[in-house]
Chains A and B, each alone.
Chain A
């Protein structure tokens, strides 16, 4: 194309071309030239900048998409694991396994000698008496007592505490139960004597505590067991302070519903807070319920001091 792009003009064309080229209107004004040159220069100069601006945008989009994808994947995975019970189930299973092991350990052995001193689940009327400060009424006494805690669950805890912490500092002395100062709960003279005897025997038992007292499944009268019981008694006193305002009859009825271990503890708690009459009634009920159950020595002593020689002697 380039070779035959230009053809020489013939004579007529040359004449006309000569005239045509001589016409005015030859060239664009310089201002127009400058405007066009500037436009062309700006177009080339601005293009790389626009490309530079566009490239990060083009790279930014995949980055954002990548981040969103990762976040979505994490959310999806977390939701999937949660739906399958992956998070909480493992940890709960672990805790459950530990609990089952703890529960299974004492269950494999004999019946625990000492009942736990864990507080009972708070009963609604107990809260009412504490918060309002109103003595319990007979109507409230007739209210159903809180269900006793299952002994197998609470058994091993205090036992392990007693067995593994002989050198541990003794637990803080129990706060004086409010019921002990209550006029309605004033202890009688025989009760005071019995309480003094119990204190004395508890001190003796504490002094006789072996460094590693092995739990004696049958040692109701065992000295070591008595020491363990004394340690537990301090903790029970806290529990006793909660139920001190409950009338003795109701407590006796309540004690009779509990297992023998808890029942013994409650009798002791009643002795601790000076409720000798209630303790005596509860002990009588215990002996009637479990005539062949050997009594701990402190309760034997308490029963003898309370005039229950015949009853107590049979359970020695």
Chain B
């Protein structure tokens, strides 16, 4: 029966005190949400911490949920806000040095362009390319590629306008394609913590 209920119905039921309604809701979104967070922070432990924070926020703010908004939108808004806080806190921490990034680039060198890009190699490059994206671009491209969300939906989650989302997505896609194609993006390959919004 829970499989037939929408996210919004399950969330309302849970907010009304039906504890069992939370489990199917969590099952539907746990994987995508975790991956979304992990793509951003790249560290498993940090992703788990943020992932738990997001769901805890869902639980504590359940009375404030209104069915006018899609549950997934509301959920990813919470996650985005939590990631923003994470990035703000991260600005006070030392970022990966250019030497580290250079080392990562050198590690990838032997495998390109002489070797045929295997799936594993493509994953590794994509991972590095994602890490090199600014957070707002990375956020948009992950939501687009993994959730297949529309620009409008991404704009609702991130709080940015449609054109801003479109621009960020275009920049992010270009960088990823160039990285996967063996091109170096130079300074843009450095991990960025600033926002391009």
Binary contact readout A26-37 vs B (1 if CB under 8 angstroms, 0 otherwise): 111100110111
Binary contact readout B149-182 vs A (1 if CB under 8 angstroms, 0 otherwise): 1111100100000000000000001001100100
Cβ contact within 8 Å between A44 and B19: yes
Beyond A1-B153, A23-B127, whether A40 also contacts B122 by CB under 8 A is no
State the Cβ distance, A19 to closest chain B Cβ, in Å: 5
Binary contact readout B1-31 vs A (1 if CB under 8 angstroms, 0 otherwise): 0000000000000100111001100100011
Specify the chain A residue showing the minimal Cβ separation from B49.
A32
Beyond A19-B180, A45-B19, A48-B17, whether A9 also contacts B145 by CB under 8 A is yes
Q: Does A139 contact B (CB under 8 A)?
A: no
Q: Does A130 contact B (CB under 8 A)?
A: no
Q: How far does the alpha carbon of A37 sit from the alpha carbon of B52 in the complex, in Å?
A: 10
A5, A17, A19, A28: the one contacting B119 at CB < 8 Å is A19
Interface residues of A in 1-19 (CB under 8 A from B): 1-2, 4-9, 12-13, 16-17, 19
Q: How far does the alpha carbon of A33 sit from the alpha carbon of B149 in the complex, in Å?
A: 25
The residue among B19, B47, B119, B147 with the most chain A CB atoms within 10 A of its own CB is B19
Query: Contacts of A20 on B, CB cut-off 8 Å?
Result: 39, 126, 130, 142, 145-146
Beyond A27-B34, A44-B14, A45-B19, whether A17 also contacts B145 by CB under 8 A is yes
Q: How far does the alpha carbon of A22 sit from the alpha carbon of B120 in the complex, in Å?
A: 9
Binary contact readout B46-86 vs A (1 if CB under 8 angstroms, 0 otherwise): 01100110011011101000000010010000000000000
State the Cβ distance, B189 to closest chain A Cβ, in Å: 17
Interface residues of B in 84-135 (CB under 8 A from A): 119, 122-123, 126-127, 130
Cβ contact within 8 Å between A28 and B30: yes
A7, A12, A39, A40: the one contacting B173 at CB < 8 Å is A12
State the Cβ distance, A206 to closest chain B Cβ, in Å: 99
Cβ contact within 8 Å between B119 and A22: yes
Binary contact readout A19-63 vs B (1 if CB under 8 angstroms, 0 otherwise): 111111111110011011101110111011000000000000000
Cβ contact within 8 Å between B60 and A6: no
Specify the chain A residue showing the minimal Cβ separation from B60.
A43
Cβ contact within 8 Å between A16 and B123: no
Q: Is the interface of B mostly helix, strand, loop or mixed?
A: helix
Q: Does B44 contact A (CB under 8 A)?
A: yes
Beyond A21-B146, A26-B35, A39-B56, whether A33 also contacts B126 by CB under 8 A is no
Query: Contacts of A28 on B, CB cut-off 8 Å?
Result: 30-31, 34, 47-48, 51
Cβ contact within 8 Å between A26 and B31: yes
Q: How many residues of B contact A (CB 8 A)?
A: 49
Query: Contacts of A45 on B, CB cut-off 8 Å?
Result: 19
Query: Contacts of B142 on A, CB cut-off 8 Å?
Result: 20
Cβ contact within 8 Å between B152 and A1: yes
Q: Does B192 contact A (CB under 8 A)?
A: no
Cβ contact within 8 Å between B148 and A1: no
Beyond A16-B176, A19-B180, A22-B119, whether A5 also contacts B145 by CB under 8 A is no
Query: Contacts of A36 on B, CB cut-off 8 Å?
Result: 26, 52, 55-56
State the Cβ distance, B46 to closest chain A Cβ, in Å: 12
State the Cβ distance, B68 to closest chain A Cβ, in Å: 9
Beyond A35-B52, A40-B14, A43-B60, whether A13 also contacts B119 by CB under 8 A is no
Cβ contact within 8 Å between B48 and A32: yes
Cβ contact within 8 Å between A4 and B152: yes
Query: Contacts of A25 on B, CB cut-off 8 Å?
Result: 35, 38-39, 44, 47
Beyond A19-B123, A23-B123, whether A1 also contacts B145 by CB under 8 A is no
Specify the chain A residue showing the minimal Cβ separation from B122.
A19
Cβ contact within 8 Å between B148 and A6: yes
Query: Contacts of B144 on A, CB cut-off 8 Å?
Result: 9, 13
Q: How far does the alpha carbon of A13 sit from the alpha carbon of B169 in the complex, in Å?
A: 10
Cβ contact within 8 Å between A13 and B153: no
Beyond A9-B145, A23-B126, A36-B52, whether A1 also contacts B173 by CB under 8 A is no
State the Cβ distance, A13 to closest chain B Cβ, in Å: 6
Query: Contacts of B26 on A, CB cut-off 8 Å?
Result: 33, 36-37, 40
Closest 5 CB pairs of A and B: A17-B145, A44-B19, A7-B150, A40-B22, A28-B34
B-to-A contact residues, CB < 8 Å: 14, 17-19, 22-23, 26, 30-31, 34-35, 38-39, 44, 47-48, 51-52, 55-56, 58-60, 62, 70, 73, 119, 122-123, 126-127, 130, 141-142, 144-153, 156, 173, 176-177, 180
A-to-B contact residues, CB < 8 Å: 1-2, 4-9, 12-13, 16-17, 19-29, 32-33, 35-37, 39-41, 43-45, 47-48
11 contacts between A and B (CB under 8 A): A5-B152, A6-B147, A6-B150, A9-B144, A17-B145, A27-B35, A28-B51, A32-B52, A39-B55, A43-B59, A44-B18
